[in-house]
């Protein structure tokens, strides 16, 4: 039977380590990989009328950029390894969305990196890992 | 004594900073006179009474419309309230649409355009002229107005323009043209053009001059009197930087602060009301008593009613059509859902926030009544109620809040400036949409509108309250004349949407995601 490993990936150094770790695990156990990228988003934020008007357009641009700059290079690199790789690109709260993906994919493990690429990400990391540890239905591996 | 002199000293400092203050003072007067004489005819036309009565026809127009929509949609504002809350919470939002404009965001943006000085200064004007009884009529108008908002915002989403580049534009100008065409009715285009003209005037009036005027009044109230033109120029420069210079970051900051100011305002009002809990019963007695007798205010019961209805309409803009512009950017497959969400707007704006202001003014005892008869005393030569410190407009609200919390006038001044600013940004957008509908899109045309908009900020801050408030009301109500006329013809379309949606909600075809 096939296993699935979810790896949270945002292009940062920490997430590179997570990806490398997940790749090794997947190779060893014959699992498939889901590379997940989440664009931080709250439906309860406040926007100006101008931003409302352009939101749909901006969303398209943001998705295209994330696909091109973050997910595509990761998939390209994994292609050599022979692992079955799919991607997931979503908006929302990082921890909640990754947990949702794990549930939907019936994943056996979630792998995330330890630090983002800025102080802000580092601060956010606390809440992401915290929420994951509390709420994830499967084991979570935090890669340093 | 020291504190007494402080405002005067500040005013002197301000005068010293501006060598031409004397000239500016007369500039204020000139602007005032020119403005009053050039807009008088328009104001008279909109507010002319029914022959033989003192009742302005426009007030009746709004109330009848709101009542018709309330009956036609079977008291939708009460039936749908729970479902509206679920929609705003996102219970029915598809998670795959995350990143698009949510119901909450559309509502919050529309609210930041309506919650503003109408809630702080407008209510004080209403209570100052119409007495506590005006509050009763204001709340009633707010409740009825929920049905008007429901109708116009559903249409706003249904007939919005979605462009190839992914941006959207909506509002009465679009539903009047497309909706009328769909029903095979003539004249949609003419109505849309008329609406656009009035919307531009409304943007200059209530969405701009009234805001600038009252923001200046509040600042002057705190630091001492100085020429309005100074406030006007400062405001014009900052607003200009946002709308012309593309400094969206300033607007973004305001958008985030304004909701918190709103919450702070309501919480403070609640605290003041609770501190005077022994007077709550009395205050409601005044509101109900005044609603039907007037308690001696000029014009009696009708005076209270007119003031209440007028200020409610001005504050929540139900039936005016402006909100339909802001709400139409939401991501939804069902236009009616935005109608549901939008009906919360007059509720929050009028039934909650305006009522808080009114209660605080009444409970803090700002209105002077004859102790023997309980009848309100009128100012000599004017038809406003005598107040403790001879305050009117925003100064009255400020005095009422400060009587409970010394120093609150500073917080209120900040709130007023921020509310004024966010309302101006919203209305500059509404006005611009109407402008581009009339003249087409293009950098030069848009800049022309934005430039004129900034000039009106200076005029608004310089002119006195009377003529500004008259013109602001008249322009906004003129929008309602056209919009509501159109809504009567388009309401069967909304009804069809509603029936279909309710049926699918019952059958389970409309899924709940949370």
- Residue A136 has what pLDDT? 87
Contact A53 B252 (CB under 8 A): no
- Residue A113, C-beta contacts closer than 8 angstroms, at least 6 positions apart: A8, A12, A13, A14, A15, A16, A17, A18, A142, A143
**Fold that domain B33-47+54-506 belongs to in CATH:** Amino acid/polyamine transporter I (1.20.1740)
Q: Does A41 touch chain B (CB under 8 A)?
A: yes
Beta bridge partners of B253: none
- Nearest-CA distance from B271 to chain A in Å? 27
- In this predicted model, what pLDDT tens digit does every residue of A35-67 receive, in sequence order? 999 998 888 888 888 888 889 999 999 999 999
Q: How many CB atoms lie within 10 A of CB B468?
A: 27
What distance in Å separates the CA atoms of residue B464 and residue B442, rounded to the nearest whole number? 35
Going by their DSSP bridges, the two strands A140-143 and B161-162 should be labelled as unpaired
Closest Cα in chain A to B323: A49
Contact A49 B101 (CB under 8 A): no
Interface of B with A in 327-366 (CB under 8 A): 329-331
Domain extent, residue A62, equals: 4-143
Contact A52 B101 (CB under 8 A): yes
pLDDT by position in tens, chain B (length 514): 334 334 444 444 444 444 444 455 567 777 777 777 878 888 888 888 888 777 788 888 988 999 999 999 999 999 999 999 999 999 999 888 888 899 999 998 888 888 888 888 889 989 998 899 999 999 999 999 999 999 999 999 999 999 888 888 899 999 999 999 999 999 999 999 999 999 999 999 888 988 898 889 888 888 888 888 999 999 999 999 888 877 777 777 777 778 888 888 999 999 999 999 999 999 999 999 888 887 777 777 888 888 898 888 888 889 999 999 989 889 889 999 999 999 999 999 999 999 999 999 999 988 888 877 778 888 776 678 888 878 888 889 999 999 888 888 888 888 888 888 888 988 999 999 999 999 988 889 999 999 999 999 998 888 776 777 788 778 888 999 999 999 999 999 999 999 999 999 999 898 888 7
Share of chain A above pLDDT 90, in %: 35
- Residue B393 has what pLDDT? 82
Give the CATH number of the domain where residue A48 resides: 3.40.50.620
Quote the distance between the C-alpha of residue B218 and its chain's center.
17
Place of tokens 């200009």: B240
CB B409 within 8 A of CB B201: no
Mean pLDDT taken over chain B: 86
Q: What is the DSSP letter of B383?
A: S
Q: Does A56 touch chain B (CB under 8 A)?
A: yes
What distance in Å separates the CA atoms of residue A64 and residue A73, rounded to the nearest whole number? 13
Whether residue A110 is predicted with pLDDT greater than 80 in this model: the reply is: yes
By 3-state DSSP, what share of chain A in percent is helix, strand and coil, each rounded to 5? Answer: 55, 20, 25
What distance in Å separates the CA atoms of residue A68 and residue A45, rounded to the nearest whole number? 26
Burial class (CB in 10 A: 0-12, 13-18, 19+), B49: middle
Q: What are the CA-CA distances from residue A133 to residues A97, A114, B290 (Å)?
A: 14, 13, 60
Identify all chain B residues contacting A100, using CB atoms and an 8 Å cutoff.
95
Contact B105 A44 (CB under 8 A): yes
Count residue pairs from A and B with Cβ separation < 8 A. Answer: 89
Our count of domains for chain A comes to 1
Identify all chain B residues contacting A52, using CB atoms and an 8 Å cutoff.
101, 105-106, 109, 326, 329-330
B99 → closest Cβ in A50, A52, A91 = A91
């Amino acid at each position: 039977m096939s296993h699935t490993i979810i790896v949270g990936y945002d292009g940062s150094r920490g997430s590179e380590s997570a990806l490398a770790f997940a790749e090794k695990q997947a190779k060893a156990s014959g699992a498939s990989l889901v590379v997940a990228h989440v664009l931080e988003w709250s439906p309860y934020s406040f926007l100006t009328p101008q931003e409302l008007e352009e939101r749909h357009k901006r969303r398209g641009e943001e998705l295209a950029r994330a696909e091109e700059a973050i997910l595509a290079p990761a998939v390209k690199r994994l292609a050599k390894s022979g692992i079955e790789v799919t991607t997931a690109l979503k908006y929302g709260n990082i921890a909640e969305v990754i947990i949702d993906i794990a549930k939907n994919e019936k994943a056996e493990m979630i792998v995330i990196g330890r630090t983002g690429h800025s102080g802000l990400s580092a601060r956010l990391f606390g809440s992401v890992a915290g929420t994951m540890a509390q709420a994830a239905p499967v084991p979570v591996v935090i890669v340093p | 004594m020291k504190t007494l002199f402080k405002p005067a000293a500040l005013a002197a400092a301000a005068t010293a900073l501006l060598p031409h203050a004397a000239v500016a003072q007369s500039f204020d007067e000139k602007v005032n006179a020119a403005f009053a004489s050039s807009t008088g005819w328009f104001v008279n036309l909109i507010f002319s009474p029914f022959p033989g009565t003192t009742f302005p026809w426009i007030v009746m127009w709004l109330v009848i419309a709101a009542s018709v929509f309330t009956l036609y949609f079977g008291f939708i504002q009460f039936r749908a309230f729970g479902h509206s809350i679920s929609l705003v919470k996102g219970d029915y939002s598809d998670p795959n649409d995350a990143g698009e404009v949510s119901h909450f965001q559309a509502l919050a943006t529309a609210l930041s355009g309506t919650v503003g000085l109408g809630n702080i200064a407008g209510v004080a004007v209403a209570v100052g002229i119409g007495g506590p009884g005006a509050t009763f009529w204001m709340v009633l108008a707010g409740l009825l107005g929920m049905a008007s908002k429901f109708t116009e915002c559903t249409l706003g989403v249904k007939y919005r323009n979605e462009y190839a580049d992914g941006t959207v534009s909506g509002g009465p100008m679009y539903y009047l043209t497309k909706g009328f065409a769909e029903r095979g009715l003539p004249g949609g285009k003419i109505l849309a053009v008329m609406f656009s003209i009035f919307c531009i005037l409304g943007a200059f009036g209530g969405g701009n001059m009234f805001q600038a005027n009252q923001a200046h009044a509040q600042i002057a109230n705190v630091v001492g009197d100085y020429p309005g033109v100074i406030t006007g120029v400062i405001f014009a420069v900052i607003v200009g930087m946002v709308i012309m210079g593309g400094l969206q970051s300033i607007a973004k900051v305001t958008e985030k602060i304004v909701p918190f100011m709103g919450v702070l305002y309501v919480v403070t009002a609640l605290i003041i009301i609770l501190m005077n809990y022994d007077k709550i019963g009395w205050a409601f007695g005044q509101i109900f008593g005044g609603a039907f007798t007037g308690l001696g205010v000029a014009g009696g019961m009708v005076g209270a009613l007119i003031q209440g209805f007028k200020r409610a309409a001005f504050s929540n803009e139900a039936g005016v059509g402006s909100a339909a512009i802001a709400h139409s950017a939401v991501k939804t497959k069902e236009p009616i859902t935005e109608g549901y969400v939008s009906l919360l707007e007059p509720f929050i704006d009028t039934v909650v926030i305006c009522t808080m202001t009114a209660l605080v003014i009444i409970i803090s005892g700002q209105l002077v009544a004859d102790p023997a008869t309980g009848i309100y005393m009128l100012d000599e030569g004017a038809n406003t109620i005598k107040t403790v410190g001879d305050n009117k407009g925003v100064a009255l609200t400020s005095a009422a809040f400060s009587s409970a919390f010394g120093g609150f006038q500073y917080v209120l001044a900040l709130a007023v400036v921020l509310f004024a600013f966010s309302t101006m940004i919203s209305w500059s957008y509404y006005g611009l949409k109407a402008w581009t509908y009339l003249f087409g899109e293009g950098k030069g045309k848009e800049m022309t509108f934005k430039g004129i908009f900034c000039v009106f900020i200076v005029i608004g801050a310089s002119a006195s309250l009377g003529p500004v408030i008259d013109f602001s009301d008249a322009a906004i109500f003129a929008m309602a004349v056209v919009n509501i006329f159109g809504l009567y013809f388009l309401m069967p379309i909304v009804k069809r949407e509603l029936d279909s949606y309710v049926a699918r909600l019952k059958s389970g075809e409309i899924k709940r995601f949370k």
